[in-house]
Structure formats: structure tokens, C-alpha cells
């Protein structure tokens, strides 16, 4: 995957142009930006990343 700006800094038109890359970055997220709430599977794509803890609920 080529160089991409932090998701937090992408503008609407940039997201449209990079949609395939963005989908790969946000699928199965492990991190969330505490500033804008965007998610990513790698910390490097967010500016204020926190580990996203997902609790499995009992059904």
C-alpha cells in the first residue's frame, strides 16, 4: 500500500479518491482516534490513536 496521510487529516475528496486503500485501512480496526473517532487497523494511520478494546457480549 502506498504512502497515505493520516486518516484524521484526509478531506472528503481525498477519501473518495483513495477509497480502496481506506477500506483496507479501516477493516477490522484495532485503534481509534481519540480526537475525531476514526478507526484503523494500524496505529500509524491515526493522529491520536488509542487501542480499541472490543468486549464480546454474551448472547
pTM assigned to the model: 0.78
| Spatial separation of the C-alpha atoms in residues 20 and 48, rounded to whole Å | 23
Domain boundaries along the sequence of the chain: 26-59
Rg, C-alpha atoms of the chain: 12
Q: What does the DSSP assignment read for 12-46?
A: HHHHHHTHHHHHHHHSS--EEETTT--EESSGGG-
Report the pLDDT averaged over residues 34-54. Answer: 93
User: Please, are residues 21 and 4 in contact by the beta-carbon 8 Å criterion?
Assistant: yes
Dmax (CA) of the chain: 41
The pLDDT mean for the chain works out to: 89
In the three-class reduction of DSSP (H, G, I as helix; E, B as strand; rest coil), residue 9 is classed as helix
pLDDT tens digits, 24-43? 999 999 999 999 999 999 99
Amino acid at each position: 500500500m502506498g504512502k497515505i496521510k493520516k486518516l484524521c487529516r484526509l478531506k472528503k475528496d481525498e477519501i473518495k479518491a483513495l477509497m480502496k486503500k481506506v477500506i483496507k485501512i479501516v477493516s477490522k480496526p484495532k485503534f481509534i482516534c481519540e480526537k475525531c473517532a476514526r478507526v484503523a487497523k494500524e496505529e500509524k494511520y491515526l493522529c491520536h490513536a488509542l487501542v480499541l478494546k472490543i468486549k464480546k457480549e454474551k448472547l
